[in-house]
Structure 1
Amino acid sequence: MAPRDLLLALVVIVAWGLNFVVIKVGLDGLPPMLLGALRFALVAFPAVFFVRRPALPWRWLIAYGATISLGQFAFLFEAMAHGMPPGLASLVLQSQAFFTLFFAAAFLGERLRPASVLGLLIAAGGLALIGLQHGDGQGVPLLAIVLTLCGGASWAMGNVLTRRFGSVNLMGLVIWGAIVPPLPFMALAWYFDGPERIAQALLNISGSSILALVYLAVVASMLGYGLWSRLLSRYPAGKVAPFSLLVPVVGLASAALLLGERLAPLQWWGGLLVMVGLLVNVFGPQLLRRWAPAA
C-alpha cells in the first residue's frame, strides 16, 4: 500500500476509534434515540442532493439503512446509555465479524472455516471475561453487553446484504441509506423519552452535543466511509479490511486518555482474547493454507 493511502487508512481508524468517546459525549446531553435521529439527519441532508443514489432498488437501500444504520446504532447508543464503557463498546461491537460468518453461512450458503470457528471460541471466552468485572470492581451490566452484541448482529446483517449488492459506491450507499433511520429513531425517542424530554433536550442542547453530532455525521460517517471506499476501490478487500482491527485499540486508548476509563485485569485479558480471536478469524485461513503444503 502506498504511504499516502496507508496514512488515509490510519486517519479512518483514528476517526472510527474516537467515535465511541464522542458518542459518550453526545449521550451526556441527548437521549440515545434522539442522538441517532439527529446524527443520520445530518448525514442524509443535504448530501442526498449532491451524491448520486446507488443503482439499487429502494427495498435494498431500506434494508441497508434499517440494519447497519438504524439497528446497529440504536442498540449501541442504548447499550452505552445503560453503562457500556466506550472503550469496551468499541471492542465488543467487533463481534460483527463472527455474526457475519454465521449469517453468510445461513443466507448465502458460505462455508464456515475451521479457523473462523476457533477464532469465535477464543473471542467468546474473552467476552465472558469482559462481563465478569468492570474497572471499578463492578460487573458491566448484562443488558449493556447484550445490547452491544445486538448492535454487532445488526451490523453483520448489513454486511451480508452489502455482499449481495455487488460493486456499489460505498459513500453513496451510506448517505442514501441514512435517509431511513431518522424517522424510526424519532418514533423510538417519542416512545421511550416522550415529547417533553425531546423538546427539553433540543431547547437546551449544549455546544459539546452539537460538536459531537457534527463529528459523528461528518467525520465518522462521511469522511470515514468516503476514505474507506476510496481504499477499497484501489486495493483488494483482504488488504484493507484488517486495518479495522485497530479500531478497538484506538477506542480503548482514547477512552482511557480522554475519559479516564480503567479496565480491570480480567477485562484486559478478555480484550486480548477478543483481539486474538479476530486475528485468527482474519489471518487464520491464510496461515493454514501456507502450512498445509509444508505439512
Structure 2
Amino acid sequence: MRPAHLALAVLVAAVWGVNFTVIEIGLDRFPPLLFSALRFLAAAVPAVFLVGRPKVAWRWILAVGLVLGVAKFGLLFVGMDAGMPAGLSSLVLQIQAVFTALFAAAALGERPSRLGVTGMAVALAGIAVAAVDEGTTGPLTAFALVVAAAACWGASNVLTRRAAPPDALNFMVWVSTVPVLPLLLLSLWTEGPARDLEALRALDRQGAGTILYVAWITTVFGFGAWGLLLRRHPASTVAPFSLLVPVFGMTSAALFLGEPVTPLRWCAAVLLVGGVAVTSLAPRRGAPARRVDPDPAAADRAEVTPSR
C-alpha cells in the first residue's frame, strides 16, 4: 500500500473512532432516535442527487437500510444515551465480526476454520471482561443494547455481501435514505413530539456540527475513502485498519470526555481486538462458489462493510 493510501486508511479509522465521542456530544442535544434520523437525512441529502442511480436491487437497499440504519444505529444511539460510554461502545461494537462470521455460516455456508473459532472465543472473552467492567460503573442494559447493535451490524454485513454493491459510496448514500422516516416515526412515538420539537428549536452551532460530522465526515467521506481503498487494494489488506477504530474511540473519549480507561477495559480491548483480528483474517471453509464478476475488485469490496 502506498504511503498516501496508508495515511488515508489510518485517517478513516481515526474519523470513525472519534465519531463515538461526537455522538456522545450530540446526545446531549438530541433524543437518540431523532439524532439518528437527522444523521441519515443529512447523509442522504444532497448526496443522493450526486451519486447516480442505485447500482443494486432495491430489496437489498431496503433490507440493509432497515437492519443497519434503523436497528443497528437505533440500538447504538439508545444504548449510548442510556449510559454506555463512547469509548467502550467503540470497542464492544467490534464484536460484530463474530456475529458476521456466525450469520455467514448460517446463511452463506461459510464454515469458520479452527483458527476462526479460536478468534471468536477470544473476542467473546473480551466482551465478558468488558461486561464485568461496565457492571461496576454503568448500566448493563445499555451494554446489552450495544451488543444487540453489533449483532444487527453483523446481519447487515451478510446482507451487503449478498448484495455485492460495486460502489460502496453509492450504496451507502441510497441506504441512508431508508432509515429516515422509520426513525422519525419511532422518535415521535417513543421520545414524543414535544421533546423532538424542543431539541430542534434549541439547535445551535455545536449541535449542527455533530450532525454534519456523523453524516458527512463519518458516512460520506469515510465510506467514499474506504471504497477507494477497496478498489485499489485487496480487502485483506484494508480490513485490518478497522481494528484501529476502538483505539481512536477510547483515546478520544478519554481526552475529550474524560472517560476513564480502567485496567479491565484495557484487558477487554486486547482480547476483543485480538480475537476480532483472528476471526476476520482466518480463512473460511465450505463457502459456496461465487459468481464471476466482471469487476475484479467487486468481490473484495463485498467482503468488508464497516459502518460507523
Q: TM-score, normalised by structure 1?
A: 0.93
Q: Cα offset for 1:56?
A: 1.7
Q: Tell me which residue corresponds to 2:94.
A: 94
Q: Distance in 2 between matches of 1:82 and 1:120?
A: 27
Q: Cα offset for 1:284?
A: 4.7
Deviations 1:27-58 (A, max 9, x none): 01000000011110011112111111232221
Q: Tell me which residue corresponds to 2:254.
A: 256
Q: Tell me which residue corresponds to 2:206.
A: 208
Q: Distance in 1 between matches of 2:164 and 2:40?
A: 24
Q: Tell me which residue corresponds to 2:16.
A: 16
Q: Tell me which residue corresponds to 1:292.
A: none
Superposed, which structure 2 residues align to 1:187-198 within 5 Å?
187-198=185-196
Q: Tell me which residue corresponds to 1:186.
A: 184
1:233 to 228, 231, 249: 231
Superposed, which structure 2 residues align to 1:133-282 within 5 Å?
133-134=133-134, 138-282=136-280
Q: Which amino acid aligns with 1:20?
A: F
Q: CA contact under 8 A between 1:90 and 1:247: conserved in structure 2?
A: yes
Q: Distance in 2 between matches of 1:199 and 1:83?
A: 23
Q: CA contact under 8 A between 2:26 and 2:207: conserved in structure 1?
A: yes
Q: Distance in 2 between matches of 1:58 and 1:125?
A: 38
Q: Distance in 1 between matches of 2:281 and 2:174?
A: 33
Q: Distance in 1 between matches of 2:179 and 2:282?
A: 36
Q: Distance in 1 between matches of 2:115 and 2:207?
A: 42
Residues 283 and 48 (structure 1 numbering): CA distance in 2 closer, same or farther, change over 3 Å? closer
Q: Which amino acid aligns with 1:248?
A: P
Q: CA contact under 8 A between 1:169 and 1:229: conserved in structure 2?
A: yes
Residues 167 and 38 (structure 1 numbering): CA distance in 2 closer, same or farther, change over 3 Å? closer
Q: Distance in 2 between matches of 1:111 and 1:53?
A: 35
Q: Distance in 2 between matches of 1:157 and 1:212?
A: 27
Q: Cα offset for 1:166?
A: 2.5
Q: CA contact under 8 A between 1:29 and 1:206: conserved in structure 2?
A: no
Superposed, which structure 2 residues align to 1:274-293 within 5 Å?
274-285=272-283
Q: Tell me which residue corresponds to 1:3.
A: 3
Structure 1 residue runs without a partner (length 5+): 287-295
Q: Tell me which residue corresponds to 2:49.
A: 49
Q: CA contact under 8 A between 1:33 and 1:185: conserved in structure 2?
A: yes
Compare 3-12 and 221-230 and name the one that shifted more: 3-12
Describe the SS at the equivalent of 2:259. Answer: coil
Q: Cα offset for 1:285?
A: 4.7
Describe the SS at the equivalent of 1:79. Answer: helix
Q: Tell me which residue corresponds to 1:107.
A: 107
Q: Cα offset for 1:223?
A: 0.2
Q: CA contact under 8 A between 2:94 and 2:273: conserved in structure 1?
A: no
RMSD over aligned Cα atoms: 1.5
Describe the SS at the equivalent of 2:133. Answer: coil
Q: Tell me which residue corresponds to 2:303.
A: none
Describe the SS at the equivalent of 2:178. Answer: coil
Q: Distance in 2 between matches of 1:58 and 1:166?
A: 13
Residues 50 and 284 (structure 1 numbering): CA distance in 2 closer, same or farther, change over 3 Å? closer
Deviations 1:128-150 (A, max 9, x none): 1111234xx93332111111111
Q: Tell me which residue corresponds to 2:68.
A: 68
Q: CA contact under 8 A between 1:43 and 1:218: conserved in structure 2?
A: yes
Describe the SS at the equivalent of 1:133. Answer: helix
Structure 2 residue runs without a partner (length 5+): 285-308
Q: Tell me which residue corresponds to 1:28.
A: 28
Q: CA contact under 8 A between 1:131 and 1:140: conserved in structure 2?
A: no
Q: CA contact under 8 A between 1:54 and 1:169: conserved in structure 2?
A: no
